[in-house]
Every structure is written in C-alpha cells, then in structure tokens.
Structure 1
Amino acid sequence: MATHGIHTIDTGFVRPRFDAAYLIVERGRGAFVDCGTNHAVPRMLATLDDAGLATADVDWLILTHVHLDHAGGAGELIARLPNAKLVVHPRGARHMIDPAKLWAGASAVYGESVMESTYGRLRPVPAERVVEAPDGHMVDLAGRALHCLDTPGHAKHHLTVHDVRSNACFTGDVFGLSYRDFDTANGPFILPTTSPVQFDPDALHASLRRLVALEPAAMHLTHYGRVENVAKLADDLHAQIDAMVAIARAAHGKPDRHAVLMDGLTDLYATRAAAHGWTRGRAALVALLGMDTELNAQGLGVWLDQP
C-alpha cells in the first residue's frame, strides 16, 4: 500500500532494488520524481495503472538532477504524458531540451554501444514543457506543496523535493546511497556518493545540514527507497564525507592513485558495514558496491585535480 500516496518504483536499472523513481498521487493527479532510463518507461506507466491513474492525469515529472540513472528516460516518458511538464534545476534544463552534450559526455566514458544498451538514445524534451525550478520553487500537485530546494554537493544542478504533506524529502543522490541489502538490526547502512564530476564536500555538508533542519520524517532515496532515522544517517554521511576526503588527500600525487582510492574506500565501507552488524563479508560488499566505489573514486580524483 502507498503511504501518503507515495509509490516506490523499481526502475530495473542494474539489479533489483538499486534504482528507484517515485509516483506521488494527490486527489487523482500524479507527479513522478525521477524516472530512470528509457527502459524504465513501461514500469512507470504500469505504476500509473496500479494507482488508478491515466497518463493524462500526470501533471509533473520532477528531476532531482540529470544524471542518466535518474533522468535518462525523461524525454520518452514525457512524450507519453500529454499534460505533464518537466521540472528541473535551472542548470539542468538545457540538457533536457538538448541532451547532445549529456550523451557525448557519458559516451566518452562508457562508449556508444554501452550507452545504447544501458540507457537508450536520449530524447529531447520540448522547451515549452520544461519548467526551471530555482531554490524555493513550489510545485502544486492538486493543492499539495512540493518544494524544490537547491542542494549541491553531489552535482551543481541537484535539487531535493520536500513534500510538505508527508514531511519527507525526495533526495536523489544528495542524501547518499542506502541499499536494502545492507539493512541489519541496526537499521539502514548509508554512504555518500561522490561520482564525477561535481563533488564538493563543503557544499554537500551544507546541503545535508539544510535537509536535517527540516526535521523530515523520512528520506526517499533513488538508491534505494525510504529510510527513516534521518539525523543519525546524516551524521553517518558527514563522518564518511570527511573520511573520504582524507583518503583522497592521502592518495594525491601517488602514481597508482586510483588503485589507492579504491582500496581505501573499500576498506572504509567494509569496516563501517561490519560495525553496523553486516556479516556477509568483504567479497559480498565488493560485489554490491563495486560500481559505486569505482564512481566515488573517479569523483574524488576529479575533485583532487581541480585547480
């Protein structure tokens, strides 16, 4: 059952319970928050059916940021929602209207063939259907206030959606990663995401403090799902941001810097997971967090190389 009209959608990206989008329903109207890749569009539409909504009943698609695991399917989804507008941070709007640079940047890292199979070709969103959401912008969903807050640190074009009705936030990547595979009797295990190319530790600390000050009952993460005990999780994130920065600074200047970063981050996560009561061991941790650790190491490397 959906609580407060909030439906969690597994987009099917990478593995089960890895990448979430959300549908918020209020008085017969709907708003999606994030949408996954093109391959997730059937799952998004199926969730509408489950909620008793038609495609014409969706007013909004709100993107926390334009990284492709969050926004890659936006053009395809909007094309199927005749009345919906896309809400995005002002810095991200141009990439939704003309995704050529977004595609080129990701293709330079992953290659065209991987991009095609993993994400699908990016479809532009018509400019007249794009709404820029500066800090404090309010999205009205049938009288339900969804406040868009500028929350940089993971990306400069990142926003968080504060749903006043449920007193919860939809945090994209700014409130880190918390996979249900790592849940123990001590609750959720969480870690920051510093993936390239705009990690800013000071901004990320500030964004976390801002969100905690709202005293939300829960956070809805893209990776993955709803978590509570927000203040504790924020403390865990603050501590790890500092630890990750220390690992990066210690690796700086070493010829095998990336390998040192990978080892240091894996040690950090393994130690913290064990202290959290997770007993499956280092090999299982690497299997579940290997891609995230790689992206975090890359992001820390980009941060170190900034002038």
Structure 2
Amino acid sequence: MTALPYLESLGDGLYAIDTGFHRRRYDAAYLMVEEGRAAFIDTGTNFAVPRLLAALDALGLSVDDVDYVIPTHVHLDHAGGAGLLMQSLPRATLLVQQRGARHLIDPTALHLSALQVYGADEMARSYGVLRPIDAARVRSPADGDTVVLAGRPLHFIDTPGHARHHHCIWDERTRGWFTGDTFGMSFREFDTALGAWILPTTTPVQFEPDALRRSIERLLAASPHCMYLTHYSRVHDVQRLGGLLFEQIDAMVALARPLRAADDRHARLMSGLSALYREQLQRHGVHDPDAGIATLALDIELNAQGLAIWLGRGAR
C-alpha cells in the first residue's frame, strides 16, 4: 500500500478518505475492499474524485475493480462527485435511495437547489459542475434490501429526518452503520477524555425532527459496535452519542418553535445554536469552547437555515 496523507486504514478492508472539503478531517468518503472488489460509500465533491482514484491505485486496485458507488444521500458533500467518479469507473453501479436517484441521473434541480443555498461563487469554488449518470447504471435498493460485495453483505434501510432521500448501510462484518448525516457530525477536534462529542445536522431543506429521532432509534436498535460518519470517520460508544443527539434535537426544536414568526429569526437561531453548542462543548471538557464555536461556524449557519425552513413548513 502506497502511503497517502488523506487515506486511513480502519481495518477489515475499510478505508476512510479525507475528501479535502472545507477543512482537514471534515468530510470522509469510504472505500470498502473485499476479495479484490471494491465499493465507495459517499464520494465528496467533484474535487475529491482525484483522491478517490488515487486511493484505488495506492491499494493496488484498478477502476475495473469497483462494483458500487453508494451515496448515503444526494447532498453535494456526499454525492456531488458521484457523476464524475462514475465516468472513471466503467463497471460500477450507483446505489442511491429512490427519492435521490432522479437528481443524480439529471442533476439540474439539485444544482439549482444548492445554488439557492450557497450562491454561484461558492458553487463554482467548492462543488464544480455536476455530471449526470446514465439511468441504466443506477439502482435504488429498497428499505431492507441487501447487496453483496464479493460475498460481503451490505444491508440498506431508509433513514429520513435529515433528508428524505437518505439511506444508511449496515456492514455485518464490523457491525457498523455508514450513516451519512443521519447520526450527526463528530469532529476529532472535540475529542476529550470523555470520548467523542456529536451534534445533529439540520442542513436545508428536509429536516424533520420526529423522523430523524425514529431513524436514529432504528440504527441503535441493531446494537452497532460503531458508526461510520461522513463528518468525520468512525466513532464508538454509540449509545451515549445517540443520547446526545436526542438531547440536542429536542433542544434545537425547543429553541426554534417560539421563533416561527420572529422578524430576526435567523439571527436568534444562530445565537441560540451557538449558545447550545458552547454549553455542550464546555460540559464535554473541550479546552476552548469559543474556538470550537468558530470551527462550527459553517455548520451553525446551515443548521439555522434548516431549522428556519422546517419552521416555514409548519414545524410539525
């Protein structure tokens, strides 16, 4: 194996690839290798594709050895590079939740939606041009389906709450879920003697707190040994982390509901989320919670936007 600074072996044929999005160790794609066959789970953006292809080469694999590309959902930090990656993988099939399939086959609407959130300059700088994928190369596993990679079963379940086009993938070998954004975000900067810290992500536009709670409960019901997060990488102690997610989902809902008609809603959501996360980081023993809030600036902005959109739908 050739050493690459952004490629980390997790054992059991699994590798985390730092896609380089936003900052170091913020966004992971995963490469699973089994009996010489391979699958990517999440892809990062277009700008991550050279790293994903280099990871194959570093492991002695060719583009012909990849059977599957599996976005957990179609948000661009998870699937923005899927079209470009598929162009380089002639034998691969894309496995995407059924509600997201049309957006990767024809990414026009996905591009326009992201454009409204990020603006034209940020789209060009961080995501590039989204590439369509031939519909004949796309499959949508149903809730409960199993797909096999060289004898290694991968079990799919639908997990709405962060996005309706989200599924999670169970790896029986390691008893771990690839969770995309359903099981939140956990950054290594915030690891302390208490372990990892985690926060939910309510990124626009389909946050639904009740559905998200049910999806997390479903993940935890499998008694997993670990979770493979896109933001960032593998975490253990998942029951404790699930409890933190439930606590914060409830706190975020309680913060947002009274602000439905507020003229300064966004500013108050930003302030309230910052206070919530600062208190959480202090309780977790993070040395400099204010620096932590600065690190979370983008995520606080996106969470505030997602909560506002949820309020606009009636905050059910």
Q: TM-score, normalised by structure 2?
A: 0.95
Question: Helix, strand or coil: the match of 1:49?
Answer: helix
The residue aligned with 1:293 is 300
1:261-283, Cα deviation, whole Å (9 max, x unpaired)? 1111100000011100001131x
Mapped to 2, the partners of 1:221 and 1:121 lie a distance apart of 25
The residue aligned with 1:194 is 202
Question: How many pairs are equivalent?
Answer: 306
Q: Does the 8 Å contact 2:277/2:293 carry over to 1?
A: no
Write the letter of the residue equivalent to 2:252.
M
The residue aligned with 1:306 is 313
Structure 1 position 151 matched with structure 2 position 159? yes
Mapped to 2, the partners of 1:301 and 1:97 lie a distance apart of 29
Mapped to 2, the partners of 1:247 and 1:81 lie a distance apart of 46
Mapped to 2, the partners of 1:271 and 1:14 lie a distance apart of 25
Write the letter of the residue equivalent to 2:203.
S
Mapped to 1, the partners of 2:28 and 2:275 lie a distance apart of 27
Mapped to 1, the partners of 2:176 and 2:267 lie a distance apart of 38
Structure 1 position 78 matched with structure 2 position 112? no
The residue aligned with 1:56 is 64
How far apart are residue 199 of structure 1 and its match?
A: 0.5
Deviates more, 1:104-113 or 1:240-249: 104-113
1:220-262, Cα deviation, whole Å (9 max, x unpaired)? 0000010000100000000100000000013222211111111
Structure 1 position 160 matched with structure 2 position 162? no
Q: Does the 8 Å contact 2:41/2:70 carry over to 1?
A: yes
Q: Does the 8 Å contact 2:162/2:202 carry over to 1?
A: yes
Mapped to 2, the partners of 1:28 and 1:9 lie a distance apart of 18
The residue aligned with 2:234 is 226
Mapped to 1, the partners of 2:174 and 2:117 lie a distance apart of 39
Question: Helix, strand or coil: the match of 2:298?
Answer: helix
Question: Helix, strand or coil: the match of 1:198?
Answer: coil
How far apart are residue 111 of structure 1 and its match?
A: 2.3
1:191-241, Cα deviation, whole Å (9 max, x unpaired)? 000111101110001001100010111000000010000100000000100
The residue aligned with 1:142 is 150
Mapped to 2, the partners of 1:73 and 1:28 lie a distance apart of 23
Q: TM-score, normalised by structure 1?
A: 0.98
Structure 1 position 34 matched with structure 2 position 57? no
Where does the alignment leave 5 or more consecutive residues of structure 1 unmatched? Answer: none
Mapped to 2, the partners of 1:102 and 1:130 lie a distance apart of 17
How far apart are residue 133 of structure 1 and its match?
A: 1.6
Write the letter of the residue equivalent to 1:274.
Q
2:278 aligned residue (267, 270, 273): 270
The residue aligned with 2:6 is none
Question: Helix, strand or coil: the match of 2:206?
Answer: coil
Structure 1 position 90 matched with structure 2 position 104? no
1:271-302, Cα deviation, whole Å (9 max, x unpaired)? 011100001131x1222101101111111111
Where does the alignment leave 5 or more consecutive residues of structure 2 unmatched? Answer: 1-8
How far apart are residue 70 of structure 1 and its match?
A: 0.4
Question: Helix, strand or coil: the match of 2:146?
Answer: strand
